[in-house]
Amino acid sequence: MTPLAAARAPMAVKPIGRPAWLLAPGVMWLFVFMIIPVAFTVVVSFWSSGYFGTKPDFTFKNYLKLFQSPLYSGQLIKTLRISLEVTVLSLVLSYPIAYLLSRARGAVKLVMLLLLFLPFWASYVVRAFVWLPILGRHGVLNSLLMGMGLIDTPIDGLLYNEGAVLVGLVYVYTLFMTLPIYLSIERIDKGLIEAAADLGARPFSIFWRVLLPLSWPGVVSGCIMVFLLTMSAYVTPQLLGGPKGILYGNVIASQFLGNNDWAFGAALAVALVVITVLLFMLVGRKMKIEQVFTGGG
């Protein structure tokens, strides 16, 4: 080989170390802060609690207590129902917003995105707390209704019930539904919608036969996120729900912080994790898991 050819030939680069070692920090972080705590929670869920703390013996009584007691099993069913309601309401509210956002251009889209993200610059607690002066007895909503002459006295039932929790959770988790749907709609070829319109399809037919099926991965992704977040919600029910609006997450917290029953609290938490895993398995049978996380096909 001539010196000129040797200079132009690509140089062999030796690999630096083993690529597997690059994953070590992330794997260690996952192991220490996720796998070990979850495994410890599962182990503790089979222990028993007494007057002097948790005893490390093996028993199924915590799980029997969960499913045999109407109080705890009913609370789990109630949380599943409210999670489904929040998911459906968030979907109904978020899909039109996502569609309008995908159709907007330039400065209009920028303003819409800013309005969508602006409330989420505040913390989760602040976003939930803001509904107290709105729904309170002397809050904004009661003052508005009285000013319009629709009511004579303030309504007391706007706060500390399931309805207030429902409103608060829909507001808090709307973004997690809107963004996946928006990303899915953005990836749809607009020519398909125009072709359907040129062939005489009505707006509802275009939505039902073209837009919704193609944006379905984003819908599923948003529904999963909102449903799972609602299942584990704790702050919003605590602030807005009162005794009538507590959810499963509040029951778990009360076992650890109030009753000092770590074993039963761990069993409640494990049951929640199992339901979450079963949900992912159910969705995974219907569509590829990468579609769920990317929000697109």
What's the per-residue H, E or C state across 47-110? CEEECCEEECCCCCHHHHHHHHCHHHHHHHHHHHHHHHHHHHHHHHHHHHHHHHHHHCCHHHHH
Q: How confident is the model at residue 292 (pLDDT cuts 50, 70, 90)?
A: low
- Write out the two tokens for 113: 């995105």
What are the contacts of 141-146 at 24+ separation with CB within 8 A? none
Write the pLDDT tens digit of every residue in 126-152: 999 999 999 998 889 999 999 998 888
The size of the chain, in residues, is 297
CA-CA distance, 26 to 97, in Å (whole number)? Answer: 36
Main-chain dihedrals φ then ψ at residue 47, nearest 5 degrees: -85, 180
- Mean pLDDT to the nearest integer, 233-259: 91
Quick one: DSSP state of residue 11?
P
- Mean pLDDT to the nearest integer, 240-261: 90
- Residue 4 pLDDT more than 50? no
CA distances from 169 to 47, 107, 125, 182 (A): 34, 30, 12, 20
Q: Looking at per-residue confidence, does 165 or 281 come out higher? A: 165
CA distances from 153 to 69, 137, 150, 157, 164 (A): 41, 9, 10, 12, 19
Ordered by where they begin, the domains of the chain are 62-107+162-294 (1.10.3720.10)
